[in-house]
Structure 1
């Protein structure tokens, strides 16, 4: 049991280093939106309930959550996703499902620090994960994610990008500004995002 604990503790420590690296990448990409500060393990419950994270295995798929608007997955899911993402990095770069859920988690917390709340954090995080990895998660509204994608890739022919590119920072700033406008103006959000109710034609 002691050996298992030590092995899992090393895995946890490695996951934290990977998370710090990717948090730094997100911080660079969101530079024009504001300063998201440094990575904090407690924000993701990593290390706070260390024994639970290290000893327990996830009971269900790490890509599932109870609700599409749930703020975070259990810590052991994030740890697993960080490790697997990093292992796949040499071959797939960020084009993996594990990377998708890592970036949803990290980007959601990042924009929360910049003033977005609730569904707007999650919508931004989901969109960020989508454009970074090419995978679609079940979190957030599909309409928000599609608008994020269209604004980010408008006029681009190359779908590869790096966190420190000026063009990436500029587009993320525009997208962040749009999400903040939706948050501050419910009527604007209704008009631009919420799908219109489908009216069934009357049978005569």
Structure 2
């Protein structure tokens, strides 16, 4: 039997957490305005897959693991921060290169690469790790039945898919993509700067 109150609690906590802008949101926005819609949705799929992974870990007690091994939490946080800083710097460098080099012809769809980018972005996302280890694990009840467990995972997956999918579909519209191409260098710099700032903030928390 499904514990509806537990599922409702998970939904309310997760919905509040997922809409707060972070590295995942910035990655989806950048991919939506700079790439193909299919690649953006592949990126979203990668993010959702890792959300399901972190939710599973949280339900089974990842918060307790980090409490027992605090050095592990620090290591994960610093590794995630390093990735964000690297990713942001890469965006800024590519923005400068795009001003110098002539436009390149469209590349073939990179579904697998986009999916893996979503996976790496989210699995190294300090915001996700902190949220699931602290907030989500506290809200999710322990020792739930299997139907309740799968219902909670379905809630996380559906919520993440709806939110990031909506962002991807709206911002990948042709009009918005045209605006992006006109201001690509500056938008890439802004996105890169935001991601670097998030990484630095996480590294020195």
* The structure with more helix, counted as a fraction of residues: 2
Greater relative CO (CA pairs within 8 A, separation 6+): 2
Q: Structure 1 length as normaliser, TM-score?
A: 0.28
